[in-house]
Amino acid sequence: MKRAEKAARIQAILDHHFPAPTIPLQHDDPFTLLVAVVLSAQTTDKKVNQITPALFARAPTPAAMAALDVAEIHTLIRQVGLAPQKAKALKGLAQKLVTEHGSEVPRSFEALEALPGVGHKTASVVMAQAFGVPAFPVDTHIHRLAW
Residue 42, phi-psi category: left (phi > 0), alpha (psi -120 to 50), beta (remainder): left
d(CA 44, CA 107): 26
Q: Out of 86, 91, 96, 121, which one is annotated catalytic?
A: 121
Give the separation between CA 70 and CA 132, rounded to whole angstroms: 32
DSSP for residue 26: -
In the annotation, is 121 catalytic? yes
**Is 69 one of the catalytic residues?**
no
SS3 for 132?
coil
Please identify every residue annotated as catalytic.
Answer: 121, 139
